[in-house]
Amino acid sequence: MALSTVLEPPAAGFNFDNAVRNAALEGLFGGGQTPKPMKTGTTIAGVVFKDGVVLGADTRATSGEVVADKMCAKIHYIKTLPSDTLSVISNVQCVSCSLMMFGHLLYRYHGQIGANLILGGVDCTGNHLYTVGPYGSVNKVPYLSMGSGDMAALGILEDRFKPDLELEEAKELVCAAIHSGIMSDLGSGHNIDICVITRRGVDYIRPYQESEYKDNRKTKYRYRPGTTTVLTEKVVPLKLEVVQETVQQMETA
């Protein structure tokens, strides 16, 4: 994109360019309904305490109205950058580098990647907690919550947060915030995971609190083969072709 196009002020009045684009997209679907966005649920939260950062998340993964996974891990470790030079940079300002990379990646797709992230860490400049939006926007805060249950969780955080929290206080606060999101949102649920990040290292507690609601089925369901009628059956053989093959010798030293 030329620099003149970027710096050019937007034209006055309404712009109907997207109307032409939408009409072209409707033709691709043959007059049918366009895909509808699917709601995904979660509750994640973070708190900066005296010696570091505490992150928390529920473990329910949903696909529309279906619970796809009850033990989904939503807290992930960002690996150290590979080369020596980047490794030195990451040791000095690893949180800032990760934040910049996330922001640039999401901004490149202008919201087409539906990712709402919480980034937390500790480096030589202190304890950091950031929110990263799907458009690449970033914001540094002492506490925050995101996801479909964020309003209920944020109410707990705003009521109980105070500067220089002790470790146990921060863990219980994050746990209470996630639990509030679970009880107020159908897309959030099951166990609560906690991750404590300090200068000494990372303590990933999974699960920190197990769900109080267990699935105890009193009836065992047994169906004989052929109970469900097979309407159609189609077997498609796969044609596999080796495009490239390499042999690497294992280092035994």
In a domain, 11, yes or no: no
In a domain, 203, yes or no: yes
In a domain, 237, yes or no: no
Active-site hit among 5, 34, 40, 42: 42
Q: State the total domains in the chain.
A: 1
In a domain, 251, yes or no: no
In a domain, 140, yes or no: yes
**Domain with 47 in it:** 43-209
**Which CATH number does the domain housing residue 152 bear?**
3.60.20.10
**What's the half-sphere exposure (Cβ side, CA atoms, 13 Å) at 37?**
6
In a domain, 135, yes or no: yes
In a domain, 229, yes or no: no
Contact between residue 58 and residue 184 where contact means Cβ atoms under 8 Å apart: no
Model pLDDT, residue 30: 67
CB atoms within 10 A of CB 56: 32
In a domain, 178, yes or no: yes
Model pLDDT, residue 37: 64
- Name the DSSP letter for residue 26: H
The pLDDT tens digits of the residues spanning 156-193 come to 999 999 999 999 999 999 999 999 999 999 899 999 99
Q: Using CA atoms, how far apart are residues 191 and 182, in angstroms rounded to an integer? A: 9
- 42 catalytic per annotation: yes
Three-state SS sequence of 136-191: CCEEECCEEEEECCHHHHHHHHHHHCCCCCCHHHHHHHHHHHHHHHHHHCCCCCCC
Exposed, middle or buried by CB within 10 Å (0-12, 13-18, 19+), for 134? middle
Q: Which residues of the chain fall below pLDDT 50?
A: 1-5, 81-92
